[in-house]
Amino acid sequence: LRMEAMAQSPSQAALERHVLTDHQLHNIYAIPGNSGCADCGRSTPKPKWASVTHGTVVCIDCSGVHRSLGVVKSFVKSLTMDSWTDAQLANMRVGGNAKIAEFL
């Protein structure tokens, strides 16, 4: 019984990883500004990379720049190939390319 309770702890649930569903991807792309790259502004339809740190979507070229900064400054993940935690997905929902552009 104790093992079952530990297996379902909230902290473990927050760390579970899953590939984003089509619905989740649609919701990320529906966030204002997320139709193109947050950095270079290229209107690449549906950029396939994200800076989880900033809650933005970026093109493949700019994702390389973010990766070179290190994960402390910008943690980059693929929207289609990587697995995501609920906390990372929540960060994307409160972010968005338009919000970061307004901030900068």
pLDDT tens per residue across span 80-97: 999 999 999 999 999 999
Please give the pLDDT value at position 14: 59
Please give the pLDDT value at position 17: 80
Tell me how far CA of residue 64 lies from CA of 13, 26, 27, 57, in angstroms: 30, 24, 24, 13
Please give the pLDDT value at position 46: 85
**Share of residues in the chain with pLDDT > 90 (%):** 56
Rounded mean pLDDT of 34-51?
A: 88
